[in-house]
Amino acid sequence: MAAAPTAVPPSSRRGLRIILAEDDDAMRVMIQQVLTRAGHTVVAVEDGFELADYLELVRSGGGVELPDLILSDVRMPGRTGLEVLAQVRQMGMTCPVLLLSAFADEPTREEARKLGAKALLDKPVDMDELKAAVLAVSVPSPGE
Q: What is the CATH number of domain 15-136?
A: 3.40.50.2300
Tell which phi-psi region holds residue 116, choosing left (phi > 0), alpha (psi between -120 and 50) or beta: left
- Tell me the residue length of the chain: 144
| AA identity, residue 62 | G
Q: What pLDDT score does 141 carry?
A: 52
Q: Please write the tens of the pLDDT for every residue from 51-107.
A: 999 998 998 988 888 899 999 999 999 899 999 999 999 988 889 999 999 988 999
Separation between Cα atoms, residue 133 and residue 107, nearest integer Å: 21
Given this model, what pLDDT does residue 143 score? Answer: 52
pLDDT at 133: 95
Q: Would you kindly state where each structural domain of the chain is located, as residue ranges?
A: 15-136
